[in-house]
Structure formats: C-alpha cells, structure tokens
Amino acid sequence: MKNFKTTLILMVSFLIFHSATIAQIDQNKIQSILEKNFPADQPGVTLIVAKDGKIIFKGASGMANLELNIPMKADHILRIGSITKQFTAVAILMLQEQAKLNVQDDITKFIPDYPTNGKKITVEHLLTHTSGIQSYTEIPGFMANQLQGEKTTEEMMDIFKNEPMNFSPGEKFKYNNSGYFLLGVIIEKVSGMTYADFVEKNIFQKVGMKNSFYDSESKVIPNRVPGYEIDYGEIINAPFLNSTIPYAAGSLISTVEDLYKWNLAVHAYKLVKKESLEKVFTPFTLNDGETTEYGYGWGIKNFFGEKVYQHSGGINGFVSNAMYLPEQDLFVAAFSNGKGPQFLTDIIAATLLGKYPDVKKKSLTKEQMVDYVGIYQVENSKQQRTIQIKDDHLSSIRTGGDLNDLLAFEKDKFYLENHLEIFEFKRDENGKVVGILAHLPNGKKGRAIKTDKKPIERKEVQLDEKVLQQYIGKYEVEPGFFLVFTIENGEFWVAPTGDKKLQVFAEGDHKFFLKDADAFLEFVKEENEFKTVKVNLGGQHITGNKI
C-alpha cells in the first residue's frame, strides 16, 4: 500500500450539534490544550484566536529550536505551506480586476507551449484543482529526489507538463500543486514582476504583514524557526527544500497574527472587490453539475452547522491550519514546526461554539462497559469498528486505523479524546445495545450496526531476544519508504519512514500484532533467513523486502 505511514494515523473525524453562541474564552484552558498536545520538549506550535475583529488569544507551546533549547513564541515565523494558495488565488483576481487576465482564459494564452492534449484548460481550472494536470508532488520519486537544487519555473514545468492528464478539465476535483505552480507563472508573465515581488508589494505591504515573506534559503530572517520531522521514530531536522520548488503553491512564511491581518483584509475587500470574493468562496461546479468543497484557494465546508472557510498546509518540517467561520466572525489559526495542528484548531473552534464535551470522563464499571463491547459494521462501507475494554475505559478502532480511548460523558454517549466525533450507542426495546450513531460536524451522521462477532483477543507471547534478532532490519515497501524493525530494552519496535515508532507484540515465532493500530505482521523465511515482512493493515496487504 502506498501510504502505510499515514494510514496508521487515524484521520480526525467530527461531530455536529447546532448552536450559534460562542462560549466565553478561557485563556488558561486554551493554553493547557496547547501544552498537552505540544509538550515543552517537542517541536512547537503558535496559535491565534480572533472573534468579532479582536484577538482573544495568542500563544505558543513547545520548542522553536530543539538544538538551542529556544521555546516557541507566538510571533515566531514559520512556513505556512499550502495556505500560500490563498495568496496566489487573490493575486490572480487582483490581475483580473486590472483587466490583465480573465479566469476563463485558456492557460495557453499565457504559456503558449504548454501541452494541453487538445483540451481547454482555463485559469479557473487551476484555481479550483479541476484541471486534470498531474500534480508534480505525486510523480513517483519526485519527493525523494527533486527537492534540493534551485530550479527555474521552466525546469519545474518540464517535470510535469508532459505527464498524462488524470482526467478532462472540469471533470473531477483532485488537489493539485502543479496547478498553483502554473498560476505563479501566469502572475509573473501578466504582471511583469516575480511572484515574490508581486505578493510582497501588492499584498504584504498593503495589508501591513511585516513578518511575512517569500521564503529564502540565503536571507537572514529574524524570528524564523527551523522545522522538524519524525524519521524512524526519532525527531530529525527537516530535509532541505528549495523554495523555488513549492513556489506559488507553498513557499510563503508568516506568523499567525499576520495571517489574521490577511483574513481581515480579504473580508474587508481591501484587496479585491466583493464580486470577486464571491467566486473565492463559492464551491466550484464540475462538468456534471456536482459541486466540490473548494472555491479559489479556500476549502468551503460545514462545521457544526456553520459555514467554514479552511485551508491547511504541509511542507518539509512544518504543518499549518487556518479556519474562518464568517457567520460567527471567528478565526483560528495554528502553525507548527513539526506536528499537525488541524485537530487543535478544530477542537478549539468546537469548544468556543460549545460543541465539544467540556466534561471529565464518566467512570463505568466493567459490567457496564461489557454492554458496548463488540464489532460494529459501518453502514454503506466494508469497514468495521471494534469496541473493546482497555484498562478502566473503552477503546475504539476502525478498520485500518489507530486505537483510540473512548470516554463516556453521558449515558450511552462517548467521545474520542482529541477528536470531535461523538458516539451515541443505540439500544432496542429490551435495553440491548444494537448500534452506534456517530455525530459529525459537517451535519452528517454515521451509523454502525452491532454484529454477533466478538473482538479477537490477541494473546501476547514473550520471545527471547535472540529470536527477535532474526527480524530486525530495514525492509523496503516501495522506493523511499521503509519499515525499520529494532529491539530496544528487550522490546520489539517498528518505525515507518517519516512516522512515529510503534511497539510490536509477538503472538508466535514469526507472527506479530500492534495493540495501538489495526495491523498484523508476518515474517517470511527464505533460504534460512527472514527476508520478507507481510503486513495486513485493516485488510490491505503490503510487503516489505529486507535490504
């Protein structure tokens, strides 16, 4: 499987209950949320919360520089990754208002030699991720081999322009960095300025974003912090990335307060007119009449019955997320130099809306917990959810996902810690638990029916360290992605490339399982040596060969 490392991380899910009242801000509570999720000795986070045109919280937690032992501060400058796309989209609309282009123009008007395979690819298709052009970050081997040297825009376009198209323009939505790269090229050709200069002079200076820049490897930028990643379970300095590669798709750096200034300016029509902005926040309509959840540079979704404009960013060493609820005039943004903050912004926004259970977990007896234990078939899906007893509470694991604590807060109602999904267990007329109703923040509800199947109880066996020694080593799943098995203090661990280490438990001489994820492993012996590991990840199978 291509993305083992991300599949092992359960995607954040959400709930919905309707309300339109912002809870009173609790500075200490928000700071405690930051510190809990971004400890003082780990890569850090900056956060801003603003309501009705006023900043009501600005803070930070964790470390800005691990090597120099410098704590993160709210005014530190970090890479914002794909949030850059908002600036690129607005720059295009600024040029349209100057009558220098039209979003319905064919891109060959500006890049005449670009191969469109006989299709009309418009500027709007690039803005909405519906062009069908191959995204260069998905070309096999690109992320492993093409990030070091400086490249011209022509050299970058040569990497992806002759790749086969994924679909006809306007047919589908597929997130696409190549599209926003091409928008940067168009901005330069139409304006006669470099993309960096255009954004600096027409946006940063106009808005007063004094701590925002097009990233540079050579310039000294005060308050800019380094990024970190997890490699084989260890924190490392993020791999080098030349800013000419993400370019107009992801090369800006900023502070959370500057991003709030940007949000204010956009919605006050200081950069583009109201008519232009309406297109930005209108979901794009595909050729078949279906709408996407994306406009120009912003995602457009439902969050607890509220419209939300959102975008995240992920780039070497940094992860970011920003969300704005226009009806509430609530803005939340978080930047991290090593850890994904989206769950953080979501939980804080949900807490302020009064939608996240602000309660301590309710204790249940073992007899009470037994009622809920079982395997539940997810409606309209091949996936299942397993509810089990873990220590003094319940746990939940969905096919292919991570194990999560399931905490009670009312009778038959539970929440996943640091997630926004509420589980409401349903009973029949005899009081027997028969299913789960999951409340989601996008207004939808998920259902699962309890089956007669019982959770498999994996029995751990202790293996001598000499036996475990047979399995240690580096196993290649695909070029650039490995599983590294090690022994630490007599314990067996696996570290997927770019991810945290996970403890592996034996249930036999060559069969193993993970307690914290839906994964089972089997080592295969060839010519008297274990050379292959087969992984069953929620029914998906991958193979790694020892190197």
pLDDT score for 509: 84
Q: How confident is the model at residue 144 (pLDDT cuts 50, 70, 90)?
A: low
| 8 Å CB contact between 523 and 510 | yes
Q: Which two tokens stand for residue 487?
A: 């022994």
Which one is predicted more confidently, 232 or 50?
Answer: 50
| pLDDT tier for residue 130 given thresholds of 50, 70 and 90 | very high
Residue that has been written with the tokens 């501060």 in this structure: 73
Instruction: Please give the mean pLDDT across all residues of the chain.
Output: 89
- The reported pLDDT for the residue numbered 360 is 63
Q: Tell me how far apart the alpha carbons of residues 310 and 212 are, in angstroms, rounded to a whole number.
A: 19
The residue that leads in pLDDT, 27 or 97, is 97
- Position 230, amino acid: I
Once rounded to an integer, what is the mean pLDDT over residues 331-343? 87
Q: What's the pLDDT at 7?
A: 32
Give the whole-angstrom CA distance, residue 388 versus residue 372: 8
What ranges in 208-273 are assigned the alpha helix state H? 256-267
pLDDT (mean) for 229-258: 92
Q: 311 is written with which tokens?
A: 């975008």
Cβ atoms of 337 and 227 closer than 8 Å: yes
What distance in Å separates the CA atoms of residue 138 and residue 385, rounded to the nearest whole number? 31
pTM for this model (two decimals): 0.84
Among 7-16, 30-39, 192-201, the least confident range: 7-16
Site of tokens 């520089």: 65
Residue 258 is given by DSSP the state H
Identify which has the larger pLDDT, 280 or 27.
Answer: 280
DSSP letter string over 480-503? TEEEEEEEETTEEEEEETTS--EE
**Please, which residues bridge with residue 57 across strands?**
49
pLDDT higher at 170 or 5? 170
Domains identified in the chain and CATH numbers: 4-14+76-321 (3.40.710.10), 366-450 (2.40.128.50), 465-546 (2.40.128.50)
Q: Give the per-residue pLDDT at 257.
A: 98
Residue 12: predicted pLDDT: 26
pLDDT number for residue 537: 86
pLDDT digits (tens, 9 = 90+) for 344-395: 899 889 888 888 766 667 889 999 999 999 999 999 988 999 999 988 889 9
For the chain, give the percent of residues with pLDDT over 70: 93
Q: Distances in Å between the alpha carbon of 186 and those of 107, 116, 514?
A: 8, 15, 49
Q: What is the pLDDT of residue 14?
A: 25
Report residue 538's pLDDT band, with 50, 70 and 90 as the boundaries: confident
Of 247, 254, 278, the closest CA to residue 333 belongs to 254
* pLDDT at residue 359, rounded to an integer: 61
Quickly list H helices, 311-390. 342-352, 366-370
Nearest CA-CA partner of 293 in 278, 303, 282, 279 = 282
Q: What is the DSSP letter of 344?
A: H
Residue 511 CA to residue 456 CA, distance in Å, equals 15
Banded model confidence at residue 20, pLDDT cuts 50, 70, 90 = very low
Gap between the Cα atoms of 179 and 85, Å rounded: 10
Residue 421: predicted pLDDT:
86
The model's confidence at residue 9, banded by pLDDT at 50, 70 and 90, is very low
pLDDT band at 24 (very low <50, low <70, confident <90, very high): low
What percentage of the chain reaches a pLDDT higher than 90?
A: 69
State phi, psi for 283 to the nearest 5 degrees.
-55, 135
Distance CA 353, CA 329 (A): 12
* 135-144, 250-259, 311-320, 526-535: segment of lowest average pLDDT: 135-144
Q: Which of 416, 436, 411 is nearest to 426 (CA)?
A: 436
Give CA–CA dist 279/404, Å, rounded: 40
